[in-house]
Amino acid sequence: MLSGMSTMRQVEENILSANMSGIGSMRAEELAVIQQAREKYRNMTLIPCTKCGYCLPCPNGVNIPRNIKLFNDGFTYGDVETSRGIYANFMAAANRAGSCIQCKICEEKCPQKISISEWMPKAHAVLGEGKPY
């Protein structure tokens, strides 16, 4: 498990939680529910971003997690117009996916191994140019 921790208190809480767990501590029924939820969630999103922020800072100023969230939200909720409105009206042009220069520095840091340099142009096409998914 990857847990984005930014304070010592969070580290201590995660250690405490890990100490209370153990291999085989979940029943098969519990594991099945988790697997069903995982599959449902995967089918609802296009980009498997956890918003950890490890891809930042982008040398070109792109807010990668926010672009991915807007792109995924439009798809997940079937409301791409709201995502397009936020993209156009509440994000600086330099922070938008269209500013990505495909340098791939972010990909080296992404624990999810997302091909960010391939997704940013797609996100901009949908959010900034009005193209369909």
- Per-residue pLDDT tens digits of the chain, which is 133 residues long: 556 788 999 999 988 888 888 888 889 999 999 999 999 988 999 999 999 999 999 999 999 999 999 999 999 999 999 999 999 999 999 999 999 999 999 999 999 999 999 999 999 999 999 999 9
Indicate the domain borders of the chain.
Answer: 64-127
Do residues 98 and 106 touch, judged by C-beta distance below 8 A?
no
**Cα–Cα dist 81/133, whole Å:** 12
What are 21's two structure tokens?
A: 């767990």
Look at residue 18 in the predicted model and tell me its pLDDT: 84
pTM for the model: 0.75
Contacts of 114 (CB under 8 A, 6+ apart): 47, 48, 49, 68, 107
